[in-house]
Amino acid sequence: MPLRSPRVRLLMVAVLAMLWMGATLARLGYLQLVCYSDYLARAQRQQQRIVEISPKRGAIYDRNMRELAMSVQVESCFAVPAEIANPEMAARLLSGVLGVPPEEIETRLSTSRAFVWIARKLSVEKAARIAALNLRGIYFQKENQRFYPKRQLAAHVLGYVDIDEKGLAGIEYAVDEQVRGKAGKMQVVADARRHWFDRTEKAPDAGSSVVLTLDEEIQYIAERELATAVSQTRAQAGSIVVQDPNSGALLAVANWPPFNPNAVAESSPEARINRAIGALYEPGSTFKLVALAAALEEGIARPEEVIDCQMGAIYIAGHRIRDHKAFGLLSLTEVLAHSSDVGAIKLGLRLGAPKLYEYIRAFGFGRPTGVDLPGENHGLLRRVENWSAISIGAVSMGQEVGVTPVQLVTAMSAIANGGLLYHPHVVRELRRGERVVALEQPAPQRVVRPTTAATLRRMLEAVVLEGTGRLARLEGVTAAGKTGTAQKIDPTSGRYSRTQHIASFVGFAPLNTPAVTVLVVLDSPVGPHEGGQVAAPVFKRLAEQVLTYLDVPRDVRISPKMQPTGNQRGPEQLEADLSDFDPVQVTTSAREDASTPEPALHPTLTASTELAAEEDLTVPGFRGKSVRDVTEECLRLGFTPVLVGTGVAVEQSPEAGTTVRRGSRLTVHFAHSASTRVVSGGGNTFAW
């Protein structure tokens, strides 16, 4: 067939067309099927930019659901450099608003042509000023920023976050995974010339909220009193811890120096230390409660036993240890009240090093308490086999050991509540929408018997009534506690300093229905430096305010001049008496129903003291009434209540209608059923 034939030429064109189409289809198939993922990724890198938007963290509340930390929306500024015609001028204008060198902004603009952050989480004023510049290529994106509305209040407990809303300290760090939530995303799409033409957003998911055991009011009182104490004593630092002795819940944790978590960069690293859980110090005489508790529990000492304090000096392993005062013969109660080192050392020697070490560990020293805050120091306690010959004397009076404030306040709470060591904690529950997850706490460990704790409580009351802690005596409420004054180690010489001290006081109130345990620690006060001089008055001021806020009834009659009278007891009455002890009678929650008026205790009590002390009174009937009602009525009428048990009153002595003198003791038995009978005999009381 001739080559010039139309049919041949048509056939050749058709073959060539099919070959071209086959090659094209093969190439398209290769690109679409084999190279699809690679080219899609390259296109997305060129055309899209995905930027994470900080997540919305859950709020943090105090125990009364008052917000301590929240997340708020603020403006962040970003740029699309490809749209900025004059980067140098734009950098200069932005520099005047942001206070950043223009060279730094120019460098940012040169790193990408599609998207760069200019400034994140701007104040309202700066965002408005940047918007007023009306610069092409400058845009805004809303982000979440952590905000602490109470500023420095509870800052050491709350902690703080970084620019990406990640927790860095405190509760913010401890529960970061639950609180942080999921980050949002912003997708920026650019054309071939890197001009931004579209943006899509995915909102961040909020995290769980946290409810703490802290009480905003109590925290404020603690921080205010600590600031006042530091100002008056010119101390370098300090801490106050307020705990519920019946559960281990921390109601307030205050530290000095403070810092503002809204402006963390403006604070020093020292100010951000949570000294209540992370600062070690030698406790001094407050540590004597361990040796006293151990001696009473082991039955090798009694409150009225007389101890020869050897006129203030004792020799151990050839070393002479001197007391702060030359005491002679003192009862064990007086040894504690007057804080005799010699007396405490003699108790330690009776116990022996292994037994003393055992009780120190049992009270929670030398190991973490398990508090749900990061950065806890486990304390300093050498193994007993590493003690020197003099260690038992030093440890008995609070030397050669290092404790944290939260360890010491928890140990004192064990004495206050009847011998149970609770785990201190600040997180009560987590909330996500309608779902509430209450955090279970480990079961408490028994340290001493209830009778031992009761005996020691009476002895600790003597410290406040007639010992080194007289300045801690409360108006109208019984209290107990222990003072401490410890020398600091001089870092240059390695010896105890003669000028630097740690002054402290740890105590609880009321005596038989403890509502709060309070520890005050002042580091290096100038001038008066004894715990009884500078820390005890802080306990008094703080405890009186907190007990009033918690509506804790008074349990001591007040004189017409409002002078405290206390519960004066003779030595024979310092033995354990559990008849009027019930740690659950007083709760540490604020009044549940503020709309229901309650009788004003203070005016009534004051008025009752104006009546004649020798007036005869008729005993009212208490059957069926609550513990609180009986307490208030007894105090109002001028009787001294002795409360046994919980629930409603089922029996009383003297009986209703009996005529007695004002100030007489009225014993009222309580039970959870009004039909319960009470039988007394042989010095014991039984109920069924």
Q: What pTM value is reported for the model?
A: 0.73
Instruction: Look up residue 52 and give its amino acid.
Output: E
Q: What is the pLDDT of residue 192?
A: 52
Structure tokens given for 326: 């030359």
Nearest Cα to Cα of residue 503 among 222, 281, 325: 281
Rounded Cα distance, 471 and 660, in Å: 34
Q: What is the pLDDT of residue 387?
A: 94
pLDDT at 604 over 80: no
Among 135-139, 165-169, 218-222, name the most confident range.
218-222
* Cα three-residue angle 230-233-235, rounded to 5 degrees: 55
Q: Cβ distance 564 to 476 under 8 Å?
A: yes
Nearest Cα to Cα of residue 145 among 164, 118, 172: 164
Residues carrying CATH 3.40.710.10, the chain: 216-261+275-574
Q: Name the 3-class secondary structure at 445.
A: strand
Instruction: Look up residue 474 and give its amino acid.
Output: L
Instruction: Determine what percent of the chain is predicted with pLDDT higher than 90.
Output: 50
Rounded Cα distance, 564 and 577, in Å: 23
- Secondary structure of 378-417 in HEC code, one letter for each residue: CCECCCHHHCCCCHHHHHHCCCCCEECHHHHHHHHHHHHC
| Cα atoms in the 13 Å half-sphere on the side-chain side of 409 | 34
Burial of 685 (0-12, 13-18, 19+ CB in 10 A): middle
**DSSP alpha helix (H) spans, 398-530:** 405-416, 450-466
Instruction: Determine what percent of the chain is predicted with pLDDT higher than 70.
Output: 81
All residues at 6 or more sequence positions from 499 whose CB lies less than 8 Å from its CB, including other chains: none
The strand ranges marked E within 64-206 are 67-79, 116-122, 138-147, 184-190, 196-202
DSSP per residue, 222-252: HHHHHHHHHHHHT-SEEEEEEE-TTT-BEEE
Mean pLDDT of the chain: 82
Q: Which of 163-167, 260-264, 606-610, 645-649 is predicted least confidently?
A: 606-610
Query: Which fold would CATH assign to domain 216-261+275-574?
Result: Beta-lactamase (3.40.710)
Q: What is the pLDDT of residue 193?
A: 52
Residues carrying CATH 3.90.1310.10, the chain: 49-207
Rounded Cα distance, 335 and 574, in Å: 14
Q: Cβ distance 530 to 285 under 8 Å?
A: no
Q: What is the pLDDT of residue 677?
A: 42
Q: What does residue 307 show for φ and ψ, rounded to 5 degrees?
A: -120, 135
Mind listing the pLDDT tens digit for each residue in 491-524?
777 788 888 899 999 999 999 999 999 999 999 9
* CATH fit for domain 591-687, picks 1.25.40.10, 3.30.70.100, 3.30.70.380, 3.30.10.20: 3.30.10.20
**Structure confidence at residue 383 as a pLDDT band (50, 70, 90):** very high
Mind listing the pLDDT tens digit for each residue in 413-472?
999 999 999 999 999 999 987 888 888 889 999 999 999 999 999 999 999 999 999 999
Structure tokens given for 35: 């190279």
Instruction: Look up residue 459 and give its amino acid.
Output: M
Cα of first residue to Cα of last residue in the chain, in angstroms, is: 126
Neighbours of 70 (CB within 10 A): 18
Among 185-194, 422-431, 633-642, name the most confident range.
422-431
Q: What is the pLDDT of residue 231?
A: 95
The strand ranges marked E within 524-655 are 616-618, 640-644, 648-653
Among 5-19, 183-197, 534-548, 599-613, name the most confident range.
534-548
Q: What is the pLDDT of residue 416?
A: 96
Q: Which of 15-29, 95-109, 509-523 is predicted least confidently?
A: 15-29
Residues carrying CATH 3.30.10.20, the chain: 591-687
Widest pairwise Cα distance in the chain: 148
Rounded Cα distance, 681 and 688, in Å: 14
Mind listing the pLDDT tens digit for each residue in 538-577?
999 999 999 999 999 988 765 544 443 333 333 333 333 3
Nearest Cα to Cα of residue 660 among 612, 623, 629, 614: 614
Q: Which residues pair with 188 in a beta bridge?
A: 49, 199
Q: What is the pLDDT of residue 685?
A: 35
Neighbours of 570 (CB within 10 A): 7
Residue 375 Rama label (left phi>0; alpha psi -120 to 50; beta): left
Q: What is the pLDDT of residue 536?
A: 96
What mean pLDDT do residues 213-220 have? Answer: 96
Rounded Cα distance, 641 and 661, in Å: 14
Instruction: Look up residue 65 and give its amino acid.
Output: M
Rounded Cα distance, 149 and 654, in Å: 55
Structure tokens given for 518: 């309070």
Residues comprising the chain, all counted: 688
Q: Are strands 67-79 and 60-61 parallel, antiparallel or unpaired?
A: antiparallel
Q: What is the pLDDT of residue 80?
A: 84
More confident position, 687 or 454: 454
What mean pLDDT do residues 484-490 have? Answer: 88
Q: What is the pLDDT of residue 54?
A: 67
On whether the 49-207 domain is CATH 3.90.1310.10, my answer is yes
